Amino acid sequence: MNIQLTYSISIDEFLEMVKSVGWKTYSKEQVEKALNHTMYMVKATVDGRLAGIGRVVGDYSIVCVLTDICVKPEYQRKGIGLKITLELKRLIEENVACGEKMRIELTPTAGNEAFYERAGFKYNPDKITGMYLWIKK
Ligand SMILES: CC(C)(COP(=O)(O)OP(=O)(O)OC[C@H]1O[C@@H](n2cnc3c(N)ncnc32)[C@H](O)[C@@H]1OP(=O)(O)O)[C@@H](O)C(=O)NCCC(=O)NCCS
């Protein structure tokens, strides 16, 4: 299996991925704006076919959020999600200056905590539990 990582995601690829895992969808305009304001993004292809994506948004200094990590069902459990996540982590690390620190946050979908632990993230529900709120108009 030839897994390749690249650093851009088109609007259509983003929408294709979101649809493949059954997440809420967005207008093309909204996705374009989101991608334009993304700190880092990674796309995985397998033999040239779109298999997974992930991105990081944030303030480039103190905090960032790992988001939209998803792998098409037919490509799951083959190490692709981990590869994407570790590459995003590497890109963040590369841009933290000596003596500085930056926090990466994420809100795992239920059942995927172990996946992120595998990528080095801390899961400590006695101390911190993630929360979220959708604003809809
Ligand atoms: C979660 C997701 C991104 C994982 O991607 P993936 O490519 O299937 O995961 P990988 O094959 O890279 O798994 C890496 C490791 O995590 C483990 N793992 C993956 N998913 C897991 C899960 N749900 N529970 C426990 N372990 C898991 C794998 O067994 C593997 O461990 P190993 O290397 O010791 O064998 C993928 O299942 C997905 O896209 N799910 C739907 C969308 C989603 O919920 N995304 C997360 C948003 S927060």
Whether 129 shows a pLDDT value over 90: the answer reads no
Helix (H) or strand (E) holding 20, with range, is: helix 11-20
How far apart are the two ends of the chain, measured CA to CA in Å? Answer: 43
The SS3 call for residue 80 is: helix
Ligand 1 centroid vs 58 CA: distance in angstroms?
23
User: Which amino acid appears at position 54 of this protein?
Assistant: G
Nearest 10 degrees: CA dihedral of 12, 17, 22, 28? -20
With a CB cutoff of 8 Å and minimum separation 6, the contacts of 128 are: none
Instruction: Report the SS3 class of residue 120.
Output: coil
Quick one: pLDDT at residue 1? 85
pLDDT digits (tens, 9 = 90+) for 78-128: 999 999 999 999 999 999 999 999 999 999 998 999 999 999 999 998 998
Taking a C-beta distance cutoff of 8 angstroms, is the pair 54, 68 a contact? yes
The Å distance, Cα 111 to ligand 1 centre, comes to: 9
Q: What is the whole-number distance in angstroms between the Cα of residue 45 and the centre of ligand 1?
A: 16
Tens digit of pLDDT for each residue in 31-68? Answer: 999 999 999 999 999 999 999 999 999 999 999 999 99
CA distance 85 to 111: 17
- Which residues have any ligand 1 atom within 6 Å of their CB? 21, 69-71, 76-82, 108-109, 111-112, 114-115, 118
Which domains are delineated in the chain?
A: 3-118 (3.40.630.30)
pLDDT of residue 97: 95
pLDDT of residue 106: 96
What's the rounded mean pLDDT across residues 61-77?
Answer: 98
Distance CA 120, CA 25 (A): 29
pLDDT of residue 23: 95
